[in-house]
Amino acid sequence: MKIMGEASGTGAIVNIAWGLTLGAVLNYFWMTSETLIILTVMLILDWIFGVVNAYLQENLQSKLMVNGLIKKLTRRCIPFIVIAVLRWAGFDNIELISTAILSILIVAEWYSIIWHIYSINYKQDLPEIDALKLLIQWIAKLFQWKINDTLKEDKKEE
């Protein structure tokens, strides 16, 4: 038989542990809970508006919906993966890079939501902007810069 206080105490401990863990993760990646919430809300809204848009255009397919959801989930992983690798690789000013990545993702989702709303209302599409592609290219250039910089330092030491 469970005592009411035990269940509440355990729940409180779990909530505290979860809060501390989330706080530590966000701190490690130079993110705020507000930024993460905004990105998550934007991703969800974009997916919902995408489904509504597809429904109204009579192009609603479960495979497309699942693909859209997978894209949203993978985009949510990008900041964590990139920042972890950048920290490991010894980059400086990673806080600025983290903010830039999150800002680009949020603006990209915002544009996609506006794109869907426009399409729903006017039955026309706005020009497509692939911000994710631009972001990944920018990240690749950062790594190329760091690798070239490291190689130059190694040559100077020789």
Per DSSP, the residues of 45-95 read HHHHHHHHHHHHTT---HHHHHHHHHHHHHHHHHHHHHHHHHHHHT-S-HH
What b/e readout covers 7-24, taking b as 16+ CB neighbours within 10 angstroms? eeeeeeeeeeeeeeeeee
pTM for the predicted model, two decimal places: 0.73
- Note the pLDDT of residue 4: 46
- Note the pLDDT of residue 8: 56
- Note the pLDDT of residue 96: 85
- Note the pLDDT of residue 6: 47
How crowded is residue 102: how many other Cβ atoms within 10 Å of its Cβ? Answer: 21
- Note the pLDDT of residue 31: 84
Residues ≥6 apart with Cβ < 8 Å to 138: 104
- Note the pLDDT of residue 9: 62
Q: Which amino acid is at 126?
A: L
Using 50 as the pLDDT threshold, list the residues of the chain that sit under it.
Answer: 1-6
Nearest Cα residue to 79 out of 59, 56, 95, 60: 95
